[in-house]
């Protein structure tokens, strides 16, 4: 059994649901220290490790946490595929990447391979909306020239050129309770207000760069009482900041107009979750990727995404960072899997990036 696979199988057996990463964090820190790296943590619990080398300083990043479905994982290796029996997710998102990074570091140390300065960042609470990386300590990354976040579904060899910004709206409609049989006309239905607002909104696919969604609609109560309170959660995201702002303003207008129409109130809390970015594909980060893929005879593809990742925060902080696919399929489901060839390709890519002799 190859080293990356064994490490991967060990990691997915360690429960690390978002918010409960202490065990895996200690495991990984011990492993990194044993390889001769120094480590630090920030106030959010993100783990940093350092291996001095020569030339540029390159960041490799992945997240330690998993979705709740990847709990008590029992991985199965059948033929060339790693998956589960179908009761849990696998946790290849994002432990495949961590395994590839650890194997690369072990190879560098064992074979005394030359390498640039390497910084490893393993984040927490990524699956909760980038909460861990939001507490990033940029002083601990002050020497980084560019970075790679290994955290995207699909075959190894695809690299993200742009990603969206995202805003969320937490909304509360306040109406007036009344008996639904005796005096419904004296009530103001929070459910009706919210429903009218939703029906007037542009939602789901807005255009090729923009989406919007209602994530939840909660209005508990008795069927014979006019509901006086409803809470909803919305999000919008776009590659274009102007389009994102326009979509959010449109949604807020729909909410306010629905409340006014029925004589109720609406409370709206808005939060920017992360900023959009668009990378220069002629930059050294992409040049190194193209060269690495050519050397490894891997396919090379560039594309934008409408998914957010830790790279959104890193890029917003001025650290040019590319998201790289990590070989896994169907994350966050009981059908999640990774092919052994993809695990091998991922490890080869990380090693190629981490051991180039000199900057291109």
> Structural domain boundaries of the chain?
3-163+276-354, 165-274
Supply the residues annotated as catalytic: 65, 126
Q: Would the pLDDT of 360 be above 90?
A: no
**Residue 239 CA from chain centroid, whole number:** 16
**Residue 281: Cβ-neighbour burial (10 angstroms; 0-12, 13-18, 19+):** middle
Q: Dump pLDDT digits (tens) for 267-323.
A: 999 999 999 999 999 999 999 999 999 999 999 999 999 999 999 999 999 999 999
> Which residues does 41 contact at the CB level (< 8 Å), separation at least 6?
47, 48
- pLDDT reported for residue 123: 98
Q: Dump pLDDT digits (tens) for 97-115.
A: 999 999 999 999 999 999 9
H runs (alpha helix) in 82-205 = 92-111, 190-199
Where does the pLDDT of residue 357 fall: very low under 50, low under 70, confident under 90, or very high at 90 and above? Answer: low
What does the pLDDT average to over 218-234?
97
In this structure, which topology does domain 3-163+276-354 adopt according to CATH?
Answer: Aminopeptidase (3.40.630)
Where does the pLDDT of residue 244 fall: very low under 50, low under 70, confident under 90, or very high at 90 and above? Answer: very high
Q: Which CATH class is domain 165-274?
A: alpha beta
The pTM of the full predicted model, rounded to 2 decimals, is 0.91
- CB neighbours of residue 55 within 10 Å: 14
What does the pLDDT average to over 49-72?
97
> Which residues does 72 contact at the CB level (< 8 Å), separation at least 6?
15, 88
Q: Would the pLDDT of 356 be above 90?
A: no
Mean pLDDT of the chain: 96
Distance CA 311, CA 313 (A): 5
Type and span of the H or E element at 317: none
Q: Dump pLDDT digits (tens) for 140-186.
A: 999 999 999 999 999 999 999 999 999 999 999 999 999 999 999 99
């Amino acid at each position: 059994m190859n080293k990356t696979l064994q490490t991967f199988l060990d990691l997915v057996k360690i429960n690390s649901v978002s918010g409960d990463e202490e065990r895996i964090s200690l495991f990984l820190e011990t492993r990194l220290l044993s390889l001769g790296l120094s480590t630090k943590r920030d106030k959010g619990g993100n783990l940093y490790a350092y291996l001095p080398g020569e030339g540029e300083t390159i960041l490799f990043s992945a997240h330690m946490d998993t979705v709740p479905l990847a709990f008590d994982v029992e991985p199965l290796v059948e033929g060339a595929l790693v998956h589960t029996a179908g009761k849990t997710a696998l946790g290849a998102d994002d432990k495949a990447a961590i395994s590839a990074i650890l194997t690369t570091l072990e190879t560098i140390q064992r074979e005394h391979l030359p390498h640039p300065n390497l910084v490893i960042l393993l984040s927490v609470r990524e699956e909760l909306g980038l909460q861990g990386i939001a507490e990033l300590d940029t002083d601990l990354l002050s020497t980084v020239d560019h970075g790679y976040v290994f955290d995207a579904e699909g075959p190894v060899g695809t690299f993200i050129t742009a990603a969206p910004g995202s805003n969320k709206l937490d909304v509360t409609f306040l109406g007036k309770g009344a008996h639904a049989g005796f005096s419904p006309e004296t009530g103001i239905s929070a459910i009706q207000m919210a429903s009218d607002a939703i029906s007037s909104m542009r939602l789901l696919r807005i255009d090729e760069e923009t989406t919007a969604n209602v994530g939840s609609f909660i209005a508990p109560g008795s069927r014979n009482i006019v509901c006086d309170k409803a809470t909803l959660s919305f999000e919008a995201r776009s590659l274009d900041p102007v389009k994102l702002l326009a979509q959010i303003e449109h949604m807020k207008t729909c909410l306010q107009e629905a409340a006014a129409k029925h004589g109720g109130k609406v409370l709206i809390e808005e939060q920017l979750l992360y900023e959009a970015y668009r990378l220069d594909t002629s930059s050294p980060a992409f040049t190194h990727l193209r060269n690495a893929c050519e050397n490894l005879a891997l396919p090379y593809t560039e594309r934008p995404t409408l998914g957010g990742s830790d790279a959104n925060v890193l890029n917003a902080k001025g650290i040019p960072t590319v998201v790289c696919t990590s070989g896994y399929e169907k994350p966050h489901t009981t059908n999640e899997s990774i092919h052994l060839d993809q695990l091998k390709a991922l490890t080869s890519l990380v090693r190629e990036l981490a051991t180039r002799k000199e900057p291109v």
